[in-house]
Amino acid sequence: MRQLRLSIILLSICFPVVARSQQADEELLAKTRVLYDAPFTRGLVSFDCAVQFDWKKHFVETVGQVPPAAVPTLGHLQAIEHRVFVDRSGAVISEIPKATDLASVPHAPELERALQAIVSSGLNAWLPFGTNVILPLKPTKFSFQRQDAGYKVVMSGTNVAATLDLLPDMRITSVVSQLPQPLRFATEFASGPNGYLLRSVKTSSDIGSNDKWESTFLYGYQAVQGFQLPSGVSVTGATAETWRYLLNDCKAVSGVALEVRAPKQ
């Protein structure tokens, strides 16, 4: 009977402490979340833009010159117009007004597919920050831990296991995810008119080393109907080849901002 009373006393002491700790973490998360400019949480539904890519400049930057044999191919590719559509589900690029038949142009189909993949990957790498799903979402469990360089956020849940490192001003500097898949990335943020904007992100599937990155993405921004959206994107892969493209003539569709929750597993 004494042991039972002692257990009740201990539980009554510990539970309020745990509740206060969880409340403090939730309050800190709420304050941190609003520091980031995530347009899809502020009413952005989708946007689409014209894609500007300079094939001649890309070849000069990559191999030092445009080989004479490649001039006709680049002429065909440069004449193709693209637009990219982006919503919460991802980026889709298409040719305007319709797909061009490049079957008779040497190497053109492969280069066209590469450009489309690069444009999509650059915006898909930005999208988790544009939707603010990097920070913990319900019902994922999380805790803020103070450290010399700022904070460490430990996340756990169904098919979720990750840690985030944040500076004292709450900018995310790195993320290591074990679930749903091994992934490590380092980030830099710039201050924008509506909060922190992703400036760069480096990614790798090797979570045990900080020496090598598989991809690097850089972003510039433009104001479109009240939203800060990517204007220039740079994508560098493991081969060190860098692709740079611009987004212009952008149009945004807005609606009611909704709270983001983690998908049910």
User: Taking 90 as the threshold, does the pLDDT of residue 257 lie above it?
Assistant: no
Angle at 172 between CA 35 and CA 31, to 5 degrees: 30
φ and ψ at residue 28, rounded to 5 degrees: -70, -40
List pLDDT tens digits, range 231-247: 999 999 988 899 999 99
Among residues 159, 153, 242, 232, the alpha carbon closest in space to that of 199 is found at: 232
pLDDT of 111-145, one tens digit each? 999 999 999 999 999 999 999 999 999 889 999 99
Reply yes or no on whether the pLDDT at 157 is more than 90: no
Domain of residue 143: give its range.
34-41+114-254
Distance CA 69, CA 75 (A): 11
User: Which of these ranges, 88-102, 187-201, 219-233, 251-265, has the smallest mean pLDDT?
Assistant: 251-265
The tokens describing 48, both together, are: 């689409």
Question: What residues contact residue 92 under an 8 Å CB cut-off, 6+ apart?
Answer: 84, 85, 86, 120
Residue 238 placed within a domain: yes
Domain contains 136: yes
Q: Rounded CA gap, 92 and 117, in Å?
A: 9
Burial label, 148 (beta-carbon count in 10 A; 0-12, 13-18, 19+): exposed
User: pLDDT tens across 91-108, in order?
Assistant: 999 999 988 999 999 999
Can you list the alpha helix ranges (DSSP code H) found in the chain?
2-33, 55-63, 71-78, 108-130
In a domain, 222, yes or no: yes
DSSP class of 211:
S
Q: Between 12 and 204, where is the model more confident?
A: 204
Q: What is the CA radius of gyration of the chain?
A: 23
Query: What's the pLDDT at 22?
Result: 83
Asked if the structure places residue 196 within a domain, the reply is yes
The answer to whether position 155 is within a domain reads yes
Number of domains making up the chain = 1
Residue 200 to residue 187: CA distance in whole angstroms: 6
135 inside domain: yes
pLDDT of 14 strictly over 70: no
138 vs 224: which has the higher pLDDT: 224
- DSSP-assigned beta bridge partners for residue 48: 85, 251
Contact (CB, 8 A) for 215 and 126: no
Of 10-24, 28-42, 174-188, 223-237, the one with minimum mean pLDDT is 10-24
How far is the C-alpha of 94 from the C-alpha of 138, rounded, in Å? 35
pLDDT, position 21: 78
Q: What is the pLDDT of residue 6?
A: 43
The residue type at 31: K
Q: Is the pLDDT reported for residue 9 higher than 50?
A: no
Domain-located, residue 87:
no
Neighbours of 18 (CB within 10 A): 9
